[in-house]
């Protein structure tokens, strides 16, 4: 905070706009607070795995600063780009009602913030309560530009579980010794796959199973008999992860900023983009024969066995403050194997919304206006004339990815501006509701001809208030794989999941329309499908994409344009005059 004096007039203008637009009541008990932050994004030297490199970081911190707010608050963040490349920041899981302008994805809702420039984001919290996060939404900058958003209950409201003694963000990430932006450039040029990460990280540290990593290992100090809330975030670029704490079970109480019916597990499976709020009861500290230190550990969960995988284990230490120190290494938790699809599926099947009077669900059950079946594929495209392609599975091609066989092309003007100002030729409003061809999507030996995709900037336009159902269908093209599909601007109900090809006649009968989890990122199972539903009541332009960054840049994306409704409170806010130019 602080340091934003010069920007005050803009901030005040924006706040005024928000207050007027939201019609915030004057009642002091209800008034949303506004929290101000300054983010200075610049190159910072960081040493991991015996390698020093300059990474982009916010305020010199990696992971970056935590944003704290209460439900319904407005957060204003002045982002100062003091680095040498274009960036944007996204507030992952914040619905931003009527406020797509400040959502963040580059060339979708804004043009990037140029080096030396600043941009002030207004982040409007509404129904979210729990853990969300923020991250860069430009190129691969998210690798090191990310942090937690903690949303506490409103003043006077309580958690739907006993108040934890302390709350601890646990940010899972990935580390590359190489420069990630150079890596991205290289793969764009050659059409090859990305190098796997050199380590997973917990709060920015790989932990002491890695060389040169003993001193930096992150530690969580606990007191015997107290309960802690771990706010686990998977900020990884390419991996889902298993997470566990030796000697302790975890009670899962929330995901993606919404409460769950509590359930207790030995390990968590968290997809890239998701958050899991878990309670840890520190019961084991001084029991006879017990260690006073335990490893917390994170390991990749990866389903595509045709690809190389980082199967190393990141560690942090859970340490009892009041127990006598013990010699020897801490115990490691039992984590499922890196490709244990059954363990991941069993975990995810337990997610159910809390669904109480204080935290009700509102599942659209009666009617669906837009039925979409969206296939998810890794593909190839012919190698371009000036490109030297390598590594792709068919000669003369490069890797690509698609939704319904459309490989999304990022436009040069943001889609939101094109929509708002009716600029033609930026996108086509014809993203298909079905795949162009029905085949056995999960057949492990597909014909080569099926691997080819087509490029386009094709978006799906829906009426305000429409009930949308999207069934994501994984395909086995270049290997079945779990994909964490993320939608901006909305949380959605995950009403069904299953393996094999989705059966329109049979599978909807298995939907959970009573207490499905309310998330912003759904784990589509490898070789299977997942169905989500949402009411399109948030007008704007909203990115939808796989949260694995290499799939995002390969085109596993599309955009929802949700039209304005009739009443003023069903319409997008006007374009702020401060938007960066392309
Ligand atoms: Cu967490 Cu579009 O991103
Ligand atoms: Cu993916």
- Side by side, the strands of the sheet bearing 397-403 are 454-456, 406-408, 397-403, 370-382, 467-474, 528-535, 492-499, 518-519
DSSP 209-220: TSTT-TTT--EE
Q: Is residue 221 part of a domain?
A: yes
CA 37 to chain centre: 21
- Under the banding of pLDDT at 50, 70 and 90, the label for residue 20 is very low
Q: CA dist 294 to 7, 211, 217, 218, 231, Å?
A: 46, 20, 13, 12, 18
Number of domains in the chain: 3
The bound ligand whose nearest atom lies closest to the alpha carbon of 484 is 2
Q: Which residue has better confidence, 29 or 249?
A: 249
Ligand 2 center from residue 129 Cα (angstroms): 27
**Residue 508: phi, psi to the nearest 5?**
-55, -25
Q: CA dist 56 to 79, 181, 365, Å?
A: 13, 10, 45
Atom of ligand 1 nearest to the CA of 135: 1
Residue 453's SS3 state is coil
Atom of ligand 1 nearest to the CA of 273: 1
Query: With 0-12 CB in 10 A as exposed, 13-18 as middle and 19+ as buried, what is 44?
Result: middle
Query: Could you tell me the sign of the dihedral formed by the alpha carbons of 58, 61, 63, 66, in that order?
Result: negative
Is there a single domain that holds both residue 335 and residue 428?
no
Which DSSP symbol is given to 428?
B
Ligand 2 center from residue 272 Cα (angstroms): 10
Sorted by sequence, the CB contacts under 8 Å of residue 68 that are 6+ apart come out as 35, 150, 152
Has residue 200 got a pLDDT over 70? yes
Is there a single domain that holds both residue 173 and residue 281?
yes
Has residue 31 got a pLDDT over 50? yes
Atom of ligand 1 nearest to the CA of 104: 2
CATH number of the domain where residue 45 is located? 2.60.40.420
Has residue 27 got a pLDDT over 80? no
Is there a single domain that holds both residue 322 and residue 192?
yes
Is there a single domain that holds both residue 476 and residue 534?
yes
Is there a single domain that holds both residue 375 and residue 299?
no
Is there a single domain that holds both residue 382 and residue 285?
no
The answer to which of 136-140, 288-292, 423-427 has the lowest mean pLDDT is 288-292
The bound ligand whose nearest atom lies closest to the alpha carbon of 549 is 2
Average pLDDT for 124-133? 98
Sorted by sequence, the CB contacts under 8 Å of residue 346 that are 6+ apart come out as none
Ligand 1 center from residue 119 Cα (angstroms): 19
Q: What is the pLDDT of residues 141-185, one digit of tens each?
A: 999 999 999 999 999 999 999 999 999 999 999 999 999 999 999
Pairing mode of beta strands 313-320, 293-301: antiparallel
Sorted by sequence, the CB contacts under 8 Å of residue 348 that are 6+ apart come out as 269, 497, 523, 525
pLDDT of residue 286: 54
Average pLDDT for 414-434? 98
Ligand 2 center from residue 355 Cα (angstroms): 30
Is there a single domain that holds both residue 517 and residue 377?
yes
The answer to which of 93-107, 378-392, 484-498 has the lowest mean pLDDT is 378-392
As a whole-number percent, the residues of the chain with pLDDT over 90 amount to 84
Start-to-end CA distance of the chain, whole Å, equals 29
CA–CA separation, 229 and 152 (whole Å): 12
Atom of ligand 1 nearest to the CA of 93: 1
Secondary structure E strands in 383-466: 397-403, 406-408, 454-456, 459-462
Has residue 13 got a pLDDT over 60? no
Ligand 2 center from residue 577 Cα (angstroms): 35
Average pLDDT, the chain: 92
Out of 92, 121, 152, pick the residue that ends a domain: 152
Out of 348, 378, 400, pick the residue that ends a domain: 348
The bound ligand whose nearest atom lies closest to the alpha carbon of 489 is 1
DSSP 325-339: P--SPPBPP----TT
- Partners of 580 in the β-ladder: none
Ligand 1 center from residue 108 Cα (angstroms): 12
Ligand 2 center from residue 152 Cα (angstroms): 31
Is there a single domain that holds both residue 527 and residue 393?
yes
CA–CA separation, 252 and 249 (whole Å): 10
Has residue 304 got a pLDDT over 90? no
pTM greater than 0.75 (yes/no): yes
The answer to which of 5-9, 251-255, 387-391, 452-456 has the lowest mean pLDDT is 5-9
Which DSSP symbol is given to 61?
B
Has residue 95 got a pLDDT over 80? yes
The bound ligand whose nearest atom lies closest to the alpha carbon of 483 is 2
Ligand 1 center from residue 442 Cα (angstroms): 27
Q: Is residue 36 part of a domain?
A: yes
Q: Is residue 477 part of a domain?
A: yes
Q: Is residue 353 part of a domain?
A: no
Ligand 1 center from residue 422 Cα (angstroms): 26
Reference 180, options 576, 569, 549, 503; nearest CA is 549
pLDDT of residue 29: 46
CA–CA separation, 273 and 498 (whole Å): 21
Q: Is residue 575 part of a domain?
A: no
The residue nearest atom 3 of ligand 1, judged by CA position, is 92
pLDDT of residue 12: 45
Specify whether the CB–CB gap between 76 and 120 falls below 8 A. Answer: yes
Q: What is the pLDDT of residues 325-361, one digit of tens each?
A: 777 788 899 999 999 999 999 999 999 999 999 999 9
Q: Which residue has better confidence, 388 or 115?
A: 115
- Partners of 171 in the β-ladder: 233
Asked if omega into 90 is within 30° of 0 (cis), the reply is no
pLDDT of residue 188: 86
- Under the banding of pLDDT at 50, 70 and 90, the label for residue 573 is very high
pLDDT of residue 3: 36
Q: Is residue 343 part of a domain?
A: yes
- Per residue, what are the HEC states of 142-210? HHCCEEEEEEECCCCCCCCCCCCCEEEEEEEEEECCCCHHHHHHHHHHHCCCCCCCCEEEECCECCCCC
Is there a single domain that holds both residue 98 and residue 17?
yes
Ligand 2 center from residue 392 Cα (angstroms): 17
What range defines the domain where residue 535 resides? 370-570
- Under the banding of pLDDT at 50, 70 and 90, the label for residue 305 is confident
Is there a single domain that holds both residue 428 and residue 340?
no
Ligand 1 center from residue 398 Cα (angstroms): 24
CA–CA separation, 375 and 77 (whole Å): 36
pLDDT of residue 385: 84
Has residue 11 got a pLDDT over 80? no
Helix (H) or strand (E) holding 560: strand 557-562
Out of 152, 183, 202, pick the residue that ends a domain: 152
- Under the banding of pLDDT at 50, 70 and 90, the label for residue 80 is very high
Average pLDDT for 117-128? 98
Is there a single domain that holds both residue 398 and residue 333?
no
Is there a single domain that holds both residue 123 and residue 43?
yes
Q: Is residue 578 part of a domain?
A: no
Task: Collect residues with CB below 5 Å from ion ligand 2.
Answer: 483, 546, 548, 551
The bound ligand whose nearest atom lies closest to the alpha carbon of 553 is 2
- Identify the residues whose C-beta falls under 6 Å from ligand 1: 90, 92, 105, 135, 137, 273, 486, 488, 543, 545, 547
The answer to which of 217-231, 292-306, 354-368 has the lowest mean pLDDT is 292-306
The bound ligand whose nearest atom lies closest to the alpha carbon of 105 is 1
pLDDT of residue 351: 98
Q: Is residue 44 part of a domain?
A: yes
Which DSSP symbol is given to 393?
S
């Amino acid at each position: 905070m602080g340091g934003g004096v010069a920007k005050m007039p803009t901030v005040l203008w924006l706040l005024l706009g928000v207050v007027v637009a939201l019609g915030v009541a004057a009642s002091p008990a209800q008034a949303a607070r506004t929290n101000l932050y300054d983010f200075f994004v610049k190159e910072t030297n960081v040493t991991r795995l015996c390698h020093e490199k300059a990474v982009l970081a916010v305020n010199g911190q990696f992971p970056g600063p935590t944003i704290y707010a209460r439900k319904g608050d407005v957060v204003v963040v002045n982002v100062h780009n003091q680095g040498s490349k274009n960036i944007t920041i996204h507030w992952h899981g914040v619905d931003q009602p009527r406020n797509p302008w400040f959502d963040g994805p580059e060339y979708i809702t804004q043009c990037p913030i140029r080096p030396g420039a600043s941009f002030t984001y207004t982040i409007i919290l509404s129904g979210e309560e729990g853990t969300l996060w923020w991250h860069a939404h430009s190129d691969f900058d998210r690798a090191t530009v990310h942090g937690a958003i903690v949303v506490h209950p409103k003043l006077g409201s309580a958690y739907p579980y006993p108040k934890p003694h302390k709350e601890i963000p646990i940010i899972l990430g990935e580390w590359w010794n190489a420069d990630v932006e150079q890596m991205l450039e290289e793969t764009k040029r050659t059409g090859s796959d990305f190098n796997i990460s050199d380590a997973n990280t917990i709060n920015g540290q790989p932990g002491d199973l890695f060389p040169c990593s003993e001193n930096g290992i992150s530690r969580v100090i606990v007191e015997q008999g107290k309960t802690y809330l771990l706010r686990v975030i998977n900020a990884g670029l390419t991996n889902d992860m298993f997470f566990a704490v030796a000697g302790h079970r975890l009670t899962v109480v929330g995901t993606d900023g919404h409460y769950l019916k509590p359930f207790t597990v030995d390990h968590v499976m968290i997809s890239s983009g998701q958050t899991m709020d878990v309670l840890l009861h520190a019961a084991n500290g001084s029991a006879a024969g017990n260690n006073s230190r335990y490893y917390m550990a994170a390991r990749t969960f990866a389903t595509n066995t045709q690809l190389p995988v980082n199967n190393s284990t990141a560690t942090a230490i859970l340490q009892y403050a009041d127990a006598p120190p013990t010699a020897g290494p801490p115990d490691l938790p039992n984590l499922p194997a890196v490709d244990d699809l059954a363990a991941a599926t069993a975990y995810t099947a337990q997610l159910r919304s809390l669904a109480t009077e204080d935290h009700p669900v509102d599942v659209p059950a009666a009617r669906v206006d837009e039925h979409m079946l969206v296939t998810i594929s890794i593909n190839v495209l012919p190698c371009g004339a000036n490109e030297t392609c390598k590594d792709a599975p068919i000669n003369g091609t490069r890797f690509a990815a698609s939704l319904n066989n459309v490989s999304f092309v990022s436009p040069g003007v943001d889609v939101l501006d094109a929509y708002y100002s009716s600029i033609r030729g930026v996108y086509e409003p014809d993203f298909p509701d079905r795949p162009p061809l029905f085949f056995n999507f999960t057949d492990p030996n597909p014909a080569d001809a099926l691997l080819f995709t087509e490029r386009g900037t094709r978006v799906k336009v829906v009426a305000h208030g429409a009930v949308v159902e999207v069934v994501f269908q994984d395909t086995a093209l270049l290997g079945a794989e779990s994909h964490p599909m993320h939608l901006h601007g909305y949380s959605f109900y995950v009403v069904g999941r299953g393996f094999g090809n989705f059966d329109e006649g049979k599978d909807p009968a298995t939907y959970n329309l009573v207490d499905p989890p309310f998330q912003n990122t759904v784990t589509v199972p490898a070789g299977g499908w997942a169905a989500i539903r949402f009411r399109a009541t948030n007008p704007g332009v909203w990115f939808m994409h796989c949260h694995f960054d290499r799939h995002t840049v390969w085109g596993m994306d599309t955009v929802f344009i949700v039209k304005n409704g009739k009443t003023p409170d069903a319409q997008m806010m006007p374009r702020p005059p401060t938007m960066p130019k392309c």
